[in-house]
Structure 1
Amino acid sequence: MAGPAAQTRQDRSDLPQLKRSTSMPTIRVDMFEGRTPEQKREFVKAVTEAAVKTLGTTPEAVDVILTDIKKSDWATGGVLWSEKKK
């Protein structure tokens, strides 16, 4: 990997050196079910790279938790997504 996202925390002298207990981001993402494993793999890679770049942490410290939700279990504006017109 090239660029700032590939740098480790030790390479980023402009960022404070934090221990995992204070710098560990856990990013939770709720989304409709149906994404492929490849889509999820690419997504968590991009989210991890963004966290490393913006938060000054290491990739190993970033946890990404994906939760697949059925459209019948998610509502917006009082209407279930499974009942919305396409």
Structure 2
Amino acid sequence: MPYVNMKVTGGNEAPTVEQKAELIAGVTELLARVLNKNPATTVVVIEEIDMDNYGLGGKTITEVRKAAAAKK
């Protein structure tokens, strides 16, 4: 029974319901095609993480995105 846990940033960048459904279907199909796993027993979990609770390079994702936007 495959278990896939995807973590994505939430807030205004959170995936839509439709995007989440597409991700779940796509990951399930990929595991069935590549690893011959049964889609009926494949579990996919999508967790939304607040950008202030997600860090990269010692900074929150909020800070990283603000710095990137300022460079444009």
> What TM-score range do you get, normalising by the shorter chain?
0.7 to 0.9
Deviations 1:29-75 (A, max 9, x none): 01111110000001110000001011111110100011000110000
What is the deviation of 1:83? Answer: 1.1
- Work out the percentage of aligned pairs sharing the same amino acid: 27
TM-score of the two chains, using structure 2 as the length reference: 0.82
The structure 2 residue matched to 1:61, chosen from 33, 38, 41, is 41
Q: Aligned Cα RMSD in Å?
A: 0.8
Which of 2, 27, 52 lines up with 2:4 in the alignment?
Answer: 27
Aligned length: 63
Rg bigger for which structure? 1
TM value normalised by structure 1: 0.70
Moved over 3 A (4+): none
Structure number with greater CO (CA < 8 Å, separation at least 6) is 2
